[in-house]
Amino acid sequence: MDIKKRIIVKGNVQLVGFRSFIKKIAMNLGIKGSVKNLPDGTVEIYCECEENIYEEFKKIIMEKKADPKDIIKPNVIEIDDKYDENWEKFDNSRIQEYFFINYDDLDIQKELLERTEVGILSMNNMNENINNRFDTLTIKYGDFGECMVRLEKNIEEMNETFKKLTAHFIKDDDK
């Protein structure tokens, strides 16, 4: 049996590609509905699907966690899903035959916004892949990560020494 829900997602969920992420997941799960940024920094999702699909959807959304200090990745803190189709303000027009991002009446082109959000998601995924590869190299080659940290520290020390040496020669030339 299909259920209809209005969900409010709290956290770092605006300007990080979160709406495109939600749209992609919803379309993959066959969910009807929409997603929209709200003025208070939250994201509103209307959805219609079977209850077991909804629970899976909600679980995927809650798993979108990041370091709270990382401002370019979505970080879901809380989901408020107490509103269903019996709620007096439930807006059935937010649910159509396909899942869409609701931009309201913005002056900029919808397609440009969608592509920008997809670009943000792609960059986030690329960053995660790079971090995962370094973790894999550390596991495969032992102390790789520690070696890279030592190398970085040595380069910084060499840079400082070079600056001091250069400053010393400049002082000698001034005499």
State residue 65's pLDDT score. Answer: 79
Domain tally for the chain? Answer: 2
Q: Which long-range contacts (CB under 8 A, 24 or more apart) does 111-120 make?
A: 114/20, 117/17, 117/18, 117/19, 117/20, 118/17, 118/20, 119/17, 120/15, 120/16, 120/17, 120/20, 120/72
**What's the chain's average pLDDT?**
80
Choose the catalytic residue: 6, 19, 75, 94. Answer: 19
167 and 99 in a single domain? The answer is no
In a domain, 161, yes or no: yes
150 is catalytic: no
Out of 6, 12, 28, 37, the active site residue is 37
Residues 6+ apart with CB under 8 A from 10: 41, 42, 76, 77, 78, 79, 80
Q: Is residue 121 part of a domain?
A: no
Rounded to an integer, the average pLDDT of 82-100 is 88
The reply to whether 94 and 142 lie within a common domain is: no
What pLDDT is recorded for position 32? Answer: 96
The pLDDT tens digits of the residues spanning 14-29 come to 878 899 899 999 999 9
Please check whether residue 155 lies inside any domain of the structure.
yes
Q: Are residues 90 and 41 in the same domain?
A: yes
118: in domain: no
> What is the domain extent for residue 158?
127-174
19 noted as active-site residue: yes
Do 23 and 100 have their domain in common? yes
pLDDT, greater one: 104 or 165: 104
- How does residue 84 score in pLDDT terms, banded at 50, 70 and 90? confident
Residue 54 confidence (pLDDT) above 80: yes
Assign 9 a pLDDT band (cuts: 50, 70, 90). very high
